[in-house]
Amino acid sequence: MMSIASPLLAAAAMLLTGVILFSALGKSPAAAFHVFFVEPVASLYGVGELLLKATPLMLCALGLAVGFRANVWNIGAEGQFITGALAGGAVALFAGGLGIVTLPLMLLAGVVGGMTWAAIAAFLRTRFHTSEILVTLMLVYIAQLLLSYFVHGPWRDPAGFNFPQSEAFEDHELLPLLIDGARVNVALLLALALAAVSWFFVSRTFAGYRMRVAGQAPAAAAYAGYSDKINVWLALLISGGMAGLAGICEVAGPVGLLSPGISPGYGFAAIIVAFVGRLHPAGVVLASLLMSALYLGGEAAQIELQLPAPVTSLFQGVLLFYLLAADLFITFRLRRVASAPVEPATAPTTVQVSTSQ
């Protein structure tokens, strides 16, 4: 029960902080909240945007949650997102003439691209015992530079007025929209289906069970003979593949081409989504909607309230901060330690005295 309470507490505390923040900036909190949370979803288009932005977050966070449960800490989903977009984008740019199979091929390439990036961390961890936390994080920066190199160099659109971006994808290389009047596309359905698959994998398959054991009690996993290597590889391939899929869905969706700005930090925000969603697929779906609302609200606040862009990251950070704090205070109690002397002065006999003879 408490595991559900803490994200709710965190969200409430985040809103309260928002009130204080908006007041301090001289905005009316009520008006600011309207701009931040209500206006963006007041239209069909707005709801579509909410779902559109929730999709990559959901995809990334679902994969991460599986890994986190297995005690494998992939925090480089952002990098795998980019390599997924690059690999899938390459298919669109260089194999676009394949007609109807192009799009599935792009998605597949996206998954493989994300997995490949995560596989580097898996190899280094299983072969050399390096920390996957550091390796996946550092690979993010390499992926960003790689993307930058391609769109500035070999893949730059010759007719693009020297902007660092690729040629725009053809129509048949883009994901179909779900409804007219909104930009949300079929990737949302894919993400929801994968949420169900991920639930099934974790709770119904033996492989998922082994990963849970490895996460909860590594010594029990070793005792039962579950391979630690397989656990690490599976966790990283799943989370990397999902992040790569999110990447290709983003460029084959709303973005429509490769450019340095394809991700506003979805891969990192997904870490927060995974935790706010309690590493459970259903929770992740809800948490990705919340996080998406923060993105939309942040944009609206920039435009209408002239607030600076980092307001979005600020809300994200505050949310994670409160979540961790709530978890901490649910599990532990803060207590002042009385500054009493160590030895009770009234002890009748000390051990030393008794043994002196």
* DSSP output for 242-256: HHHHHHHHHIIIII-
Candidates 2-10, 33-41, 135-143, 349-357 — which segment interacts with another protein by CB under 8 A? 349-357
| CA distances from residue 218 to 125, 223, 258, 266, 300 in whole angstroms, order as listed | 16, 9, 41, 30, 46
- Applying CB under 8 A, among 226, 233, 275, 315 the residue interacting with another protein is 226
Q: Does 16 bind another protein (CB under 8 A)?
A: no
Contact indicator for 267, 60 with CB cutoff of 8 Å: yes
For residue 147, give the nearest of 298, 60, 258 by alpha carbon. 258
HSE value, Cβ hemisphere, 13 Å, CA-based, for 352: 1
DSSP-assigned letters across all residues of 144-194: HHHHHHHHHTTT--TTSTT-S--PPPPGGGSPPBSSTTS--BTHHHHHHHH
Q: Among residues 220, 309, 324, 328, which is the contact residue for another protein, using CB under 8 A?
A: 220
Asked whether position 162 contacts another protein by CB under 8 A, the answer is no
Decide: is 331 part of the binding site for another protein (CB under 8 A).
Answer: no
DSSP annotation of 338 reads P
Alpha-carbon separation of residue 82 from 16, 43, 263 (angstroms): 35, 31, 8
- Candidate list 17, 148, 227, 302; residue touching another protein; CB under 8 A: 227
Q: Which is nearer to another protein, 190 or 213 (CB)?
A: 213
Q: Which residues contact 172 (CB under 8 A, 6 or more apart)?
A: 96, 99, 100, 102, 103
Between 161 and 206, CB nearer to another protein: 206
> Contact between 131 and another protein (CB under 8 A)?
no
Select the residue interacting with another protein from 31, 145, 216, 324 (CB under 8 A).
216
Nearer to another protein, 1 or 353 (CB): 353
Among the listed ranges 45-53, 114-122, 216-224, 247-255, the one in contact with another protein (CB under 8 A) is 216-224
Stretch in the footprint of another protein (CB under 8 A) among 40-48, 233-241, 268-276, 332-340: 332-340
Shortest approach of another protein to residue 346 CB, angstroms? 8
Q: Is 141 in contact with 132 (CB distance < 8 Å)?
A: no
In this structure, are residues 315 and 276 in contact, taking their beta carbons and an 8 Å threshold? no
Instruction: Say whether residue 123 binds another protein (CB under 8 A).
Output: no
Q: What is the DSSP string of 288-323?
A: HHHHHHHHHHHHHHHHHH---TTHHHHHHHHHHHHH
Distance of closest approach, residue 118 Cβ to another protein, in angstroms: 22
Task: Work out how close the CB of 237 gets to another protein at its nearest, in angstroms, rounded to a whole number.
Answer: 16
**How far apart are the C-alpha atoms of 313 and 300, rounded to whole Å?**
14
Tokens at residue 82, please?
Answer: 């980019």
- Closer residue to another protein in complex, CB, 179/222: 222
Q: What's the closest the beta carbon of residue 217 comes to another protein, in angstroms?
A: 4
The DSSP letter of residue 262 is S
Please state the closest distance from residue 344 (CB atom) to another protein, in A: 6
- 159 makes contact with another protein (CB under 8 A): no
Closest approach of another protein to the CB of residue 332, in Å: 13
Residue from 64, 101, 104 nearest 88 by CA: 104
Calpha distance 193→344 (Å, rounded): 63
- Asked if residue 306 binds another protein (CB under 8 A), the reply is no
> Minimum Å distance from CB 283 to another protein?
18
Measured from the CB atom, is 160 or 218 closer to another protein?
A: 218
Smallest gap from residue 26 Cβ to another protein (A): 46
Residues 169-208 that bind another protein (CB under 8 A): 203-207
User: Which residues of this chain interact with another protein, rule CB under 8 A?
Assistant: 203-207, 209, 212-213, 216-217, 219-220, 222-227, 337, 339-344, 346-357
